[in-house]
Amino acid sequence: MTPITRERAERIARGHACSHCNEYTFRKISVKPASDELRKELEVEWVVARLCGVCKHLTEVGIADDGDIVYES
């Protein structure tokens, strides 16, 4: 299986509602490769920081190499 791309990780993050207000509008999204620690501990490939366009809540989403969301904080 091929790991997902940065663009696919962004689409996955946009496809999940804000955990605070349940809206799908995001003002800013930043996709970065996961650190070595996160890769080893949680098997996360991408870390996405999202700023909600409605409530301005900042969340971080960890996405595995198969496209599953591992955590959201």
Does residue 66 sit within a domain? Answer: yes
pLDDT at 47: 97
Residue 2 has pLDDT above 80, yes or no: no
At 3 the pLDDT is 81
Q: How many domains does the chain have?
A: 1
Q: Assess if residue 36 is contained within a domain.
A: yes
* Greatest C-alpha distance within the chain: 37
Residue 1 lies in a domain: no
For residue 39, being part of any structural domain is answered with yes
Residue 58 is assigned to a structural domain of this protein: yes
Contact 72, 60 (CB under 8 A): yes
In a domain, 65, yes or no: yes
H runs (alpha helix) in 1-73:
6-14, 36-42
pLDDT tens, residue by residue, 9-67 = 999 999 999 999 999 999 999 999 999 999 999 999 999 999 999 999 999 999 999 99
Supply the range of the domain harboring residue 50.
6-72
C-alpha to C-alpha distance for 14 and 26, rounded to whole angstroms = 7
CATH code for the domain in which residue 57 is found: 2.20.25
pLDDT (0 to 100) of residue 1: 66
